[in-house]
Amino acid sequence: MRHTNIVSIYFTLLIALLCQLFPWVGQGIILRPDFVLVAVLYWLLRAPNLCNVGTAWVAGLLVDLATGSLLGQHALSFTITAFIALSYQRRLVLFNTWQLAGYVIALLTIERVLMLLLKLFTGNENPGWHYLWPILTSLILWQMMIVIFGGLTRPKTKQ
């Protein structure tokens, strides 16, 4: 666990929201990664003392307000995903890059499926398989976050 600054957390969340607000058109909106979710998950797994389920809820609510979807949809799915992410958080130290990527894919899939269920409950059509594409782009974004901000654990010292 490395030292993290709370300002950097909110700054990355703001940037993520900005990216979400970017005018995505056509194919872009199908491939658009869940910027805010990836940012929330990253800080959640890296600094659970500063960023917790409540942060995820607030971030989800902001996404709802910004995208104009039903208020609380993203908040609910982010909250549940954040809880599942946190429940295994302490074991992540043992994971290598691939295992961590698998864990993140699982979390992203859970969020997508939850969102799909909520959308279907509120009367939307089944969007088809391309609905799952953002999982892959989000994973790429996750790896970029790791490259930019560093891994979840302290870099290994050479023995």
Partner 1 sequence: MLKGVHQKLEAQQTPAFFVRGANAFPRMVFFCALSIIFMAVDARLNYLSHIRQGFIAALHPLEIVANAPSEWYRDIKKYFSVHNELVQENYVLKQQAFEHKVMLQRLSTINAENAHLRSLLNGDLPIQPNAILGEISHMGRDPFTRTVVVNRGSQHNVKAGQAVVDSIGVIGQVTRVYPFTSEVTLITDKELSIPIQVERNQLRAIAFGEGNNTLDIPYLPTNVDIKVGDKLVTSGIDGIYPAGLAVATVSQILQNPESPFAKIVCTPVAEVTNHLQLLLLALPDAKATAPIEEKITKDAKAARDNLEPPTKAPTKPKANTNAPH
DSSP-derived secondary structure for 73-124: HHHHHHHHHHHHHHHTGGGGGG--HHHHHHHHHHHHHHHHHHHHHHHHHTTP
Chain contacts with partner 1 (rule: CB under 8 A): 1, 17-26, 29-30, 32, 48-49, 52-54, 56-57, 60-61, 65-73, 75-76, 79-80, 82-83, 86-87, 89-90, 93, 118-119, 122-125, 127, 131
Nearer to partner 1, 19 or 143 (CB): 19
**Nearest Cα residue to 82 out of 42, 126, 115:** 42
Nearer to partner 1, 58 or 143 (CB): 58
Q: Considering the complex, what minimum distance in angstroms separates the CB of residue 124 from partner 1?
A: 5
What tokens were used for 80? 């549940």
Nearer to partner 1, 106 or 143 (CB): 106
